[in-house]
Amino acid sequence: MSTGPALFSVVCHCRDCQRASGTGGVPVLGVPRESFSCSGPVKQSKVVGGSGYMAVRNFCSECGSLLFGTPESAPEMVTIYAGSLDDSSLFSPTDAIFVSQRKEWAVLAQSLNEHHGLPK
């Protein structure tokens, strides 16, 4: 749960997100870490993400659903996976990141600001 506004809403097309989601990218919201809380046990996996730092993914320990990330590249924030939101209308992406790794079949119908890697 997050009590604050989203810092960003993006679709990430990095190769790691493709593997984690089993599709062309992952829709995520970024929120300040201090506004985020999680109740219940989670399992974690760690891989080197598109930033070169460890991407820490947190899954529901019961059903295995991807819930949120705690990226080492940005310890002040948490990324919430849009598929885990109770109210999916809270996700309204503005940008697509790592489009240099996006598969040609994963281009979205919605026009977004595109970045070859992380926005600067």
Domain positions in the chain = 8-114
Does residue 51 contact residue 118 with C-beta atoms inside 8 Å? yes
DSSP 8-state class, residue 94: -
At 9 the three-state DSSP class reads: strand
Q: Per-residue pLDDT averaged across 34-43, rounded?
A: 91
CATH class (in words) of the domain with range 8-114: alpha beta
What one-character-per-residue DSSP string does 20-74 give?
HHTSS-EEEEEEEGGGB---S-EEEEEEE-TTSSEEEEEEETTT--EEEE--TT-
Residue 97 pLDDT greater than 90, yes or no: yes
What per-residue confidence (pLDDT) applies to 68? 95
Beta bridge partners of 68: 58, 80
CA distance 55 to 111: 27
Residue 85 pLDDT greater than 80, yes or no: yes
Residue 5 or residue 97, greater confidence: 97
User: C-alpha 112: how far from its chain's center?
Assistant: 16
Residue 45 pLDDT greater than 80, yes or no: yes
Q: What is the pTM of this model?
A: 0.86
